A and B are shown apart, each in its own frame.
Chain A
Amino acid sequence: MTVTTSGELPELLHDVIVVGAGVVGTAIARELARHRLRIALVDAGDDVGNGTSKANTAILHTGFDAVPGTLESRLVREGRRRLAAYAEQSGIPLEPVGALLVAWDPEQLATLPALAAKAVRNGYHATRLLDAAELARREPHLGPGALGALEVPDEWIICPWTTTLAYATQAVRAGVDLHLNCRVQSVTGGRHHELATSRGLLRTRYLVNAAGLHADELDRLLGRQDFTVTPRRGQLIVYDKLARPLVGHILLPVPTALGKGVLVAPTVYGNVILGPTAEDLDDKRATGSSAEGLETLRAMGARILPALIDEEVTAVYAGLRAATGQDDYRIRAHPRLRYVTVGGIRSTGLTASMAIAGYVTGLLGDAGLHLGPARDLEPVHMPNIGEARPRPYQRADLIAADPAYGSIVCHCERVTHGEIRDALTSTVPPGSLDGLRRRTRARGGRCQGFYCGPSVRALFEDGRR
């Protein structure tokens, strides 16, 4: 059970190294950990899920609107089934809220039956058309002018942070070495891959590229030029928990030629998100929000859910999606190179992650990696940071057993001393206050640290000593 963040790397020859500890990389490492293999998972960041995976819309998709017949359509469908079951078993926050594709003009309304038919071609049969009256009954705070909707009851919301963390935790407990702050700088071929990293040399027989935004760069290090990643920025506004009663479903726009558009959705933490924008950039570090982006979102939010705009904003963030200019995932095996690229995984990657992992494992087997028999992994039970089930501060049983669960440190999010302590001593501990926030929600609420910031920081610094 090893997680390293600095210092020497092991000299052993690995069977597989997975580059990129996002939701896809951790899922692959976890899947591979079911076999008797020497595996390392490396990431340039100081935490798992620290890139695209931490800043998305946190939806468990059905794939109803995928391009039928694509790999994405297939993997999203299978991945949804697997992740929903896994979340149930592991305590990953998940809420079956359902989605409504809202039509705001006659043209959009006319598109809905075609979208329902497309859903069927993607193997999804549960959509239903709602008229304006039923839509207004289901979403009474919707802005004026909504003409009808397509209901997609199995679009749910999920916690992306806990998902990645659960995969990583299970992988590490099953023997995977996780090396953070470990940027791959070059790869030398030969009998084995030799990876020069910012922390030294790693050797492996097989290599999996799950480097997200940087997957094209790693590809080039191996002499491949299959695709180019163009970062597509998505800015999102997170509204306060007190806004949660305003919206019951994920409110999706009807897709247009310009893309999927801006949605309003509840989060499993009890907030409401508005976003994302879609801006093609050339800087893979441009994770800032912009005045124009926020203004655009507020204007769209005011139309979709007018009352939302008067609510307080808790957070603003921007994530970069790894767009490749292709309609499908770019998952490709290069058996001669003993190498698999997992590129172009877009916003559906969270949903598809477990299916992608299964698919990639199969590709590695086809490429000659001897997998041997698979075992069941020890189940994980992740701390609950969602609002659908009781949080520790609401549980008399936990507090009776350990008063630290009754001692609230972060008031806005009601995070207890016990939860912060647990996160700091967990299998994959946070490397920063932001990492602690993603594990516990501490400092993630409306005051953003006005009340609890220094106390949380003190606990974090003590816990790391």
Chain B
Amino acid sequence: MSRTARAVDVLVVGAGPAGLAAAAHLAAAGAGRVEVLEREQEPGGIPRHSHHQGFGPRHRPTTGPRYAGRLADAALAAGAALRTGVTATGWAGPRTLDVTGPHGLERLSASAVVLATGARERPRSARLVPGTRPAGVLTTGELQQAVHVHGQPVGSRAVVVFTAGADAVARAAVDTLRTAGAHVVALVTEGTRGPLRSPRHRFPLLTGSTVVELTGHGRLTGVRVRGDDGRCALLDCDTVVFTGDWMPEHELARRGGIALDPGTRGPAVDTAFRTAVPGVFAVGNLLHGVEPAVSAAAEGRGVTGPVLAHLAGTDPWPDGGAPLRVDPPLLWAAPNRVRPGGPPPLGERFVLRTAERLTAPVLVVHQDGRVLDRQRLPRTALPGRPVHLRARWTAEADPDGGPVHISVMSDSRRSGVGGPPILAV
């Protein structure tokens, strides 16, 4: 089994917003040969098939495909090599990847590897939605590609199921369905609220509702929904789109033995996007499921300095550091390894998610029973929306101590001095 072996300076895996931004800035900053591997035929990641407006900087919004195109052009213009239709299939060493493409098998070694493999929505099966297995059951990713990339029909009566906070994706799914000429029968969410309505976005909305069964042999015939009050209804439809519920595409990371964070399920990284494996960085939605494309791109840009420092050899790969853990109802925090003296995280803040609505929450950062910081959030924290924790406390953490915990207090007056401040919400 012959593989051609080759070495580059930086290997970026994934040509979505994060990977392309990383490649562009690294190549421009003189990182040497920067090569981006993309398994799809076209670069751009998820924006490639997100035809709605709202990508890119706020002052210059554009569509997903245009935004993706700009990022790819910038990477090429900066001198990065962009290879599409090639897949990193596994590791042959700590910074060596096995690659398959139409040209054959390769073994690529690099001084630094930047993983930017993105995220995907959990399909119906992973959500354990019972019922038969008919055709017509999609995720937003599949829906958008079918309609915008392949021009395929998607059925005539559709239900969109979305997780709390996935309003924007649900709205994009509705737009795509309407573009394809499908009637949107209903939006269904377990949450308490739906996407903001506008005259253009009128649709029956079922909140507090769970999909309990899919029916139909061959083609979907209906979605059975149960409401908070226990009542069931069968929605007559031939298409259902499961949207939101993002999952990092972490296969390559896991196969490389890279430790994951139990909350995000993406690689555990420190504030310089360093994984536990020397020379391997991770950026973008691989770290935490879906954030807007501009955020992913900002993380890609943010990895430039740390990668350059690693290439220069001036910055030995630090080991240890304390893991950052969240307590319920918080779901995850990213980045999630802290080291006093390390650089501040991007934007000098950690990004968190909560499973429940938190009114006037106070976040308490503590380690081994010692409170490092207490921050009152400026607004109500909602499921599915970013919650930000300022990073001013990281110097206080003990690198050799236990995990740093982030807990929630609903009221700062009940501070629980001395004891672990884990309070019910």
A400 at the interface (CB under 8 A from B): yes
Count, chain A residues at interface, CB 8 A: 45
Q: Is the CB of A285 within 8 A of B150?
A: no
B130 at the interface (CB under 8 A from A): yes
**A-contact 0/1 string along B115-149, CB 8 Å cutoff:** 00000111111101011110100110110011001
Contact of A406 among B100, B141, B254 (CB under 8 A): B100
A455 at the interface (CB under 8 A from B): yes
**When A395-B1, A454-B149, A454-B150 are in contact, do A288 and B213 touch as well, CB less than 8 Å?**
yes
| Residues of chain B from 1 to 24 with CB closer than 8 A to chain A in the complex | 1-3
**Across-interface contacts of A289 in B (CB, < 8 A):** 130-131
**Across-interface contacts of B81 in A (CB, < 8 A):** none
**Across-interface contacts of A238 in B (CB, < 8 A):** 125
How many whole Å from A462's CB to the nearest CB in chain B? 11
A-B contact count (CB 8 A): 123
Q: Is the CB of A394 within 8 A of B247?
A: no
Pairs A-B, 7 closest by C-beta atoms: A448-B123, A403-B102, A453-B142, A450-B141, A454-B146, A406-B102, A454-B145
Q: Is the CB of B130 within 8 A of A288?
A: yes
**Across-interface contacts of B103 in A (CB, < 8 A):** 399, 403, 406
**A-contact 0/1 string along B236-258, CB 8 Å cutoff:** 00000000000100010011000
Q: Name the residue of chain B whose CB is nearest to the CB of A404.
A: B102
**Across-interface contacts of A393 in B (CB, < 8 A):** 87, 89, 100
Residues of A within 8 A of B (CB): 238, 242, 285, 287-291, 293-294, 312-317, 390, 393-397, 399-400, 403-404, 406-408, 411-412, 414, 432-433, 446-451, 453-455, 457-458
Count, chain B residues at interface, CB 8 A: 45
CA distance A242 to B255 in the complex (A): 8
Q: Is the CB of B123 within 8 A of A449?
A: yes
Contact of A399 among B105, B135, B213 (CB under 8 A): B105
Q: Is the CB of A313 within 8 A of B126?
A: yes
**When A291-B212, A457-B146 are in contact, do A448 and B102 touch as well, CB less than 8 Å?**
no
Q: Given A394-B1, A400-B104, A414-B100, list of 18 further CB < 8 A pairs?
A: A238-B125, A287-B217, A289-B131, A291-B212, A393-B89, A394-B105, A396-B104, A396-B105, A399-B102, A407-B101, A447-B120, A449-B123, A450-B121, A450-B139, A451-B120, A453-B138, A453-B146, A457-B150
Q: Name the residue of chain B whose CB is nearest to the CB of A235.
A: B130
**Across-interface contacts of B105 in A (CB, < 8 A):** 394, 396, 399, 406
**Across-interface contacts of B85 in A (CB, < 8 A):** 407
How many whole Å from B50's CB to the nearest CB in chain A? 13
**Across-interface contacts of B139 in A (CB, < 8 A):** 447-450
How many whole Å from B86's CB to the nearest CB in chain A? 8
Q: Is the CB of B217 within 8 A of A285?
A: yes
**A-contact 0/1 string along B211-253, CB 8 Å cutoff:** 0111101000000000000000000000000000001000100
Q: Is the CB of B101 within 8 A of A316?
A: no
Q: List 19 A-B contacts (CB under 8 A).
A: A242-B255, A285-B217, A294-B130, A313-B125, A316-B130, A394-B100, A396-B105, A400-B104, A406-B105, A411-B39, A414-B87, A414-B89, A414-B100, A449-B139, A450-B121, A450-B123, A451-B120, A453-B146, A458-B150
How many whole Å from A398's CB to the nearest CB in chain B? 10
How many whole Å from A91's CB to the nearest CB in chain B? 18
Q: Is the CB of A451 within 8 A of B104?
A: no
| Residues of chain B from 175 to 211 with CB closer than 8 A to chain A in the complex | none
Q: Name the residue of chain B whose CB is nearest to the CB of A242.
A: B254
Q: Is the CB of B131 within 8 A of A408?
A: no
**When A396-B2, A450-B120, A453-B146 are in contact, do A406 and B125 touch as well, CB less than 8 Å?**
no
Q: Is the CB of A390 within 8 A of B123?
A: no
B152 at the interface (CB under 8 A from A): yes
**When A285-B217, A399-B105 are in contact, do A314 and B87 touch as well, CB less than 8 Å?**
no
**Across-interface contacts of B39 in A (CB, < 8 A):** 408, 411
How many whole Å from A413's CB to the nearest CB in chain B? 11
How many whole Å from B256's CB to the nearest CB in chain A? 12
Q: Is the CB of A450 within 8 A of B101?
A: no
**Across-interface contacts of B150 in A (CB, < 8 A):** 454-455, 457-458
Q: Is the CB of A446 within 8 A of B126?
A: yes
